[in-house]
Structure 1
Amino acid sequence: MFWKLPLLLGLLALGPHVRSWIFEEVGKRGKQFSLCVEFAVHHFNEHQLDENAYKLLWVGRSLHKKYSLIYLMDLNLGRTICRKHDEDIDNCPLQEGPEGKKVNCTFIVDSRPWFTQFTLLNSTCQQT
């Protein structure tokens, strides 16, 4: 039992560096990553009380958990003049003035492409 203590202390000391072993950069234009981004934006819109839709402005971090299909992404979203159930939100103009809100979000999405299934594991958003 006591022989495990040095191992545990070593892992705790390496804590901040372990994340770099777990996640690695992934191309922002990859098909699976793009599908996860689309799912995250859709999920954000569906769970907002706001009737207006938000659309993707840009992608910040794009990471992939090694040996899995879990993606971590930082997305910047902008509030549009369209309603969230309109068909073509990507081509909808952004709202201007005080109504023109922008949000920075971090999403962690687990994907199962063979089932076309996505699961939001975590999300945090902050209005800018």
Structure 2
Amino acid sequence: MFWKLPLLLGLLALGPHVCSWMFEDVRKTGKEFSLCVEFALHHFNEHQPDENAYKLLWVRRSQRKKYSLTYLMDLDLGRTICKKHDEDIDNCPLQEGPEGKKVNCTFIVDSRPSFTQFTLLSSTCQQI
């Protein structure tokens, strides 16, 4: 029994990299994936203390957990000149100069599109 402990600790240390076999690539333009991206971006903007909205710049990774509707995505976001609650953030210009922040975020979103229900399971972001 004790010989299993080092193996378990090793797997815990590797974290999400060990579980990457559970996800498969999906099209970035797929309807369900696009809805999850929209939800993740909205959640990011709503929980950001910044007054300005961020918009999607690039989808680095688009994956779905096998046999489920849980999506893993790496997104590059850019700070716009628009406020969070403005109508058309997608067409809003990016901030330039020192205020022009960009972040890379990894989101895991569970979706139930038939019920229009989304749940953010994980979110990590870092400035780039």
Classify the TM-score, shorter chain: 0.7 to 0.9
* Structure 1: 4+ residue segments shifted above 2 A: 15-21
What is the alpha-carbon distance in structure 2 between the residues aligned to residue 107 and residue 20 of structure 1? 14
Query: Match for residue 41 of structure 1?
Result: 41
Alignment of 1:1-128 (within 5 A): 18-128=18-128
Letter of the structure 2 residue corresponding to residue 63 of structure 1:
Q
What is the alpha-carbon distance in structure 2 between the residues aligned to residue 24 and residue 18 of structure 1? 14
Q: How large is the Cα RMSD of the aligned pairs? A: 2.0
What is the alpha-carbon distance in structure 1 between the residues aligned to residue 37 and residue 102 of structure 2? 17
Structure 1 gaps of 5+ residues are: none
TM-score by length of 2: 0.87
What is the alpha-carbon distance in structure 2 between the residues aligned to residue 107 and residue 18 of structure 1? 17
What is the alpha-carbon distance in structure 2 between the residues aligned to residue 69 and residue 18 of structure 1? 20
What is the alpha-carbon distance in structure 2 between the residues aligned to residue 115 and residue 27 of structure 1? 22
Identity of aligned residues (%): 79
Structure 2 gaps of 5+ residues are: none
Alpha-carbon distance, 1:20 to partner: 3.8
Letter of the structure 2 residue corresponding to residue 56 of structure 1:
L
User: Number of paired residues?
Assistant: 122
TM-score by length of 1: 0.87
What is the alpha-carbon distance in structure 2 between the residues aligned to residue 29 and residue 20 of structure 1? 21
